[in-house]
Amino acid sequence: MKIFLDSVDVAEINQIREMGLLGGITTNPSLMSKKVSELSAQKKLLAEICKAAKGVDVLAEPISPEYDGIMKEALEFAKISPQIVAKIAMSPDGIKAVSALKKKKIKTALTLVFSPLQAVSAAVAGANYICPFVGRLDDIGQNGVDLIGEIMGIYKNYGFKTKVIVASIRNNNHILGSAKHGAHSVTIPFKLVNELLRHDLTDAGIKKFIEDWEKAKTK
Ligand code: G3P
């Protein structure tokens, strides 16, 4: 399983890369809006992110909902680095853009996926990735992790090559559930990385080792 970082913060990206955990980066307009407010600044930040990410895929999301606008932005982003993957919201125009970008050999991801049939359509259109959102399904009273099981089962039935990056991850159960269903990747916010690594008994064990060693020194 690959761990993607859901972040546009270069310092966060550097930290996770140095830990050896960085499998890719996902960005979105909401994250971008916290750092930049126009396209040229966004492209500059994406270039810095690609450099910090050192070779792994960086998913960059056009804001336009219409085909022509999606294509224009995606082609601009693709010029930044071969690491760039055009991350496009699921819609008829989005699917059309994925097909067109595939012909131009630009990697794509379909995002805002909430149903198995959206996932099937994305795979048929040839998207490299899909991003199903588990937390937002939980928010409306559905079980987001169950969607991942359904998608992985269907993808296996047909041998689809599209990779699943589970998004809208809010807690360790989302990560564990995704792993149990064999999802290819999860994308997680920086603040969840420590939770992934932590266990109360690990913390207690480290404390006890240090205490015992300190006691031995005073004997
Ligand atoms: O990658 C998408 C993710 O950032 C959305 O998360 O918590 O806003 O549903 P959330």
Domain-wise residue ranges, the chain: 2-218
* DSSP per residue, 57-114: -EEE-----SHHHHHHHHHHHHTT-TTEEEEEESSHHHHHHHHHHHHTT--EEEEEE-
Looking at the DSSP bridge assignments, the partners of residue 84 are 58
Please state the CATH superfamily assignment of the domain spanning residues 2-218 in this structure.
Aldolase class I (3.20.20.70)
Q: Check pocket membership of 4 for ligand 1, CB cut-off 6 A.
A: no
Question: Using one digit for the tens of pLDDT, what is the confidence trace for 57-109?
Answer: 999 999 999 999 999 999 999 999 999 999 999 999 999 999 999 999 999 99
* pLDDT for position 219: 75
The pTM of the full predicted model, rounded to 2 decimals, is 0.96
Ligand 1, pocket-test mutation among 32, 168, 185, 190, most atoms within 8 A of CB:
168
- 77 and 62 in contact (C-beta within 8 Å)? yes
Which of 174, 128, 134 has the alpha carbon at shortest distance from 24? 128
Question: Using one digit for the tens of pLDDT, what is the confidence trace for 127-170?
Answer: 999 999 999 999 999 999 999 999 999 999 999 999 999 999 99
